[in-house]
Amino acid sequence: MNQLSTSNEQLRLSMKELKHTTGTGKPYIVPPSYHLGPPGCGCFLEPPDHPSYFVQPIYTRHGTSPPRNQPAYYLGGRGYRSAFEVDAEFVPMPYDNPRVKAWEATLYAYFKNCYTVNGKRVVVTTSEKNLLLDPNTWTRKPQAPENHDAYRNVKRYYPEAEPVESFILNPPRWGDGGPGGWWETENEQPSPQTCKPRNGTHPMNGSWCQWCGWYSKEKASCMTANAGIENSETSRGR
């Protein structure tokens, strides 16, 4: 298909809400022999409504990227030659927006105990095994909150942000029981009944949902117990 093709209605609605003000892309009509890939290019952990969640790669009839200096990405009727041009279209929403706060919590969950000091990755740990394995990366020494990788990512888009020390000391969960990824393209956190993940169906992981953040401790316990029974039977040759 040569027009923007997205099967998820949520993406279509969010696309309409994007505000493109910098004009880095140029009006573009996809050639008849070309086609578009699915939405989402380099969007992992980008802020809410970042254009990278909606942009589509452009492919030639051979399935390769277009020749150099031709648009390689498509978004809202405009073509972009690089991901940097797409990034320039982003207009951050207010820092106190609930979606931004959910994104911020997700960053602190993902970058738990991770810091960058003088360009070097440092991870705080209490594990003797890790300390022996790579003493140049792992350390017991507390690090400056300003060097926390979550804060460094938030500050890229929100210079007014300060490190969230409560998240540094007690990070949100990553995965089961975490904030979920709904903030990427939705305005409100969906309930388990209204959850429609951007990719997949609810619940996305059996006992928890990566999209709405739903988590069932009971289901998780059952799945763990069942896995233990299966492993036991396999070890006995059943």
Residue 219 binned pLDDT confidence (cut-offs 50, 70, 90) = low
Q: Is residue 27 part of a domain?
A: yes
Our count of domains for the chain comes to 3
Q: Is residue 4 part of a domain?
A: no
- Please provide the average confidence, as pLDDT, over all residues in the chain: 83
Residue 132 binned pLDDT confidence (cut-offs 50, 70, 90) = very high
What's this model's pTM, rounded to 2 decimal places?
Answer: 0.77
Give the domain-ending residue among 38, 63, 87.
87
Give yes or no: residues 185 and 230 share one domain: yes
**Residue 198's pLDDT is what?**
83
Give yes or no: residues 168 and 178 share one domain: no
Range with the lowest mean pLDDT among 28-42, 177-191, 198-212?
198-212
Domain limits at 206?
174-238
Give yes or no: residues 71 and 44 share one domain: yes
Give the domain-ending residue among 125, 155, 172.
172
Convert the pLDDT of each residue in 134-154 to its tens digit. 999 999 999 999 999 999 999
Give yes or no: residues 166 and 180 share one domain: no
Give yes or no: residues 207 and 219 share one domain: yes
Share of the chain above pLDDT 70, in %: 81
Residue 14: pLDDT above 50? no
Give yes or no: residues 229 and 217 share one domain: yes
Give the domain-ending residue among 62, 87, 112.
87
Convert the pLDDT of each residue in 71-129 to its tens digit. 999 999 999 999 889 988 999 999 999 999 999 999 999 999 999 999 999 999 999 99
Give yes or no: residues 208 and 221 share one domain: yes
**Residue 147's pLDDT is what?**
98
Q: Is residue 132 part of a domain?
A: yes
| Three-class SS of the chain | CCCCCCCCHHHHHHHHHCCCCCCCCEECCCCCCCEECCCCCCCCCCCCCCHHHCCEEEECCCCCCCCCCCCCEEECCEEECCHHHHHCCCCCCCCCCHHHHHHHHHHHHHCCCEEEECCEEEEECCCHHHHHHCCCCEECCCCCHHHEHHHHHHHHHCCCCCCCHHHHHCCCCCCCCCCCCHHHCCCCCCCCCCCCCCCCCCCCCCCECCCCCCECHHHHHHHHHHHHHHHHHHHCCC
